[in-house]
Structure 1
Amino acid sequence: MNSIALRVGIIAGVLIMPGAPARGEVAESSPTHFVTRATVTVKAVPKAAWLALTDPAGWWDDEHTWSGSAANLSLVPQGGGCFCERIPEKDGAADVGLAGSAQHMTVVMAEPMKVLRMRGALGPLQSEPVDGVLSITLQPANGGGTKLVWEYAVGGHLRYPVATISNAVDAVMSQQIDRLADKLGREAPLENSPADKENPPGARKGDKDTQPGGL
């Protein structure tokens, strides 16, 4: 998004930016796809975590929007719902401007307090012939908190070098996860565990057809 905010011109900066947030990982990649994955545990109970997750205006970084303000973001947590952004009009001295909008992703599954899955190409990927699926699962954690697992799988023809764009996407997505975790009260740092790799978001035991399933 200026966008999940990976403009080509800032990709290198994202990768070397001092003081950058904790990173997730590029779990896998090939010339035509990549998958980023991260896990974080927060103090908030699943219901509070779900309500915050589905209100990105309350935690998304202004720097990673087209409009320059996360307040313009909205998310409808229903099948077919839009993760969208309003681009306000800019009035000039001679005329009244016109408002615009951007559709970042479409919700394909919303199971409150359990899983949110959206489909769409974020940031500079929007101009590429690729598609992406963002799967986020919420699981009760010890002590009453919530474990959130994020997985973003992108596939298609990429004009960017995969190693560069995948790491940049991973860095910016991890930044957003960190911001949500800070809002909800971080219980454990951003991490990746063997268990997360073996049981990707949305997967159910004995049901291989649901993998990698999630959000």
Structure 2
Amino acid sequence: MFRATIAAVLFAIVTTPAIADVVKTEAAGFVVEKTVTIDASADTVWETLRAPQRWWSKEHTWSGDSANLYIDSQATGCFCEKLPGRGSVQHARLIFVDKGKMLRMEGAFGPLQGEAIVATMTFELSPEGDKATKVKMTYVAGGYSPTGFEKLAPLVDGVLGTQLDGLKTAAEAPPPAPVGPDDKK
């Protein structure tokens, strides 16, 4: 199972157009960072960030369906996933929430969850003019990994690059058209 997961992650990296940057890798951990500018207000980006079902790749869920993801965006809240008919998964626990500015969560995502790894993901939002928002994502992981952090860092790098690209795409998408009484035919 674990090898299949690593193979899926490697495939995702090959097919991912934008990859985050591995800033540092050591025997005890790694740091991945990526910054993107999103052509949307900080409020729009914040609301999109809080709705992972809109931007997190279904290929990187346990259920195979991004619609099962949600964030309870308060400290001690959860970035979780429903496993219909089977249970649920806590991907991360929210530890710092500053509306429109910062969201920080603690959690070892995906196959890292089964290893002795502690990780923190931070999204920092800052305005770029009137109509854009800079988002800096940082993922710091440490502990023990039988796989080795030197091997894991580039895999995580690719997966997180995919997620940040998804956030950008979702936040920049036009809002859905309103549904009126005449549209329900």
CA deviation map 1:75-133 (0-9, x unaligned) = 011000010000011xxxxxxxxx31000000001100000000011011000011000
Name the TM-score, length of structure 1 as normaliser. 0.76
SS at match of 2:95: strand
Q: Is the 8 A contact 2:36 2:135 kept in 1?
A: yes
Q: CA–CA distance in 2 between the matches of 1:177 and 1:12? A: 17
Instruction: Give the C-alpha shift of residue 138 in structure 1.
Output: 0.3
**After superposition, where does 1:9-48 map in structure 2 within 5 Å?**
9-15=7-13, 17=14, 19-48=15-44
Q: CA–CA distance in 2 between the matches of 1:134 and 1:46? A: 19
Q: Is the 8 A contact 1:11 1:164 kept in 2?
A: no
The answer to whether structure 1 residue 173 and structure 2 residue 160 are counterparts is yes
Q: CA–CA distance in 1 between the matches of 2:92 and 2:22? A: 21
Q: Number of residue pairs matched?
A: 171
**After superposition, where does 1:41-190 map in structure 2 within 5 Å?**
41-89=37-85, 99-185=86-172
Q: Which runs of 4+ in 1 moved over 6 A?
A: none
Q: Is the 8 A contact 2:77 2:93 kept in 1?
A: yes
Instruction: Give the C-alpha shift of residue 73 in structure 1.
Output: 0.5
Q: CA–CA distance in 2 between the matches of 1:9 and 1:38? A: 23
Q: CA–CA distance in 1 between the matches of 2:152 and 2:67? A: 27
Query: Which residue of the partner structure matches residue 6 of structure 2?
Result: 8
Name the TM-score, length of structure 2 as normaliser. 0.88
Gaps of 5+ in 1: 90-98, 187-215
Q: Is the 8 A contact 1:138 1:148 kept in 2?
A: yes
Instruction: Give the C-alpha shift of residue 52 in structure 1.
Output: 0.4
Instruction: Give the C-alpha shift of residue 181 in structure 1.
Output: 0.6
Instruction: Give the C-alpha shift of residue 32 in structure 1.
Output: 0.6
Q: CA–CA distance in 1 between the matches of 2:10 and 2:16? A: 13
Q: CA–CA distance in 2 between the matches of 1:125 and 1:146? A: 30
Gaps of 5+ in 2: 174-185
Q: Is the 8 A contact 2:52 2:71 kept in 1?
A: yes
Q: CA–CA distance in 1 between the matches of 2:27 and 2:10? A: 20
Higher strand fraction: Structure 1 or Structure 2?
2
Query: Which residue of the partner structure matches residue 189 of structure 1?
Result: none
Q: Which amino acid counterpart does residue 127 of structure 2 have in structure 1?
A: P
Q: CA–CA distance in 1 between the matches of 2:171 and 2:87? A: 31
CA deviation map 1:20-75 (0-9, x unaligned) = 22111100010011000000001110011100001001111111100010000010
Q: CA–CA distance in 2 between the matches of 1:178 and 1:76? A: 22
Instruction: Give the C-alpha shift of residue 7 in structure 1.
Output: 1.7
Q: Which amino acid counterpart does residue 66 of structure 2 have in structure 1?
A: A
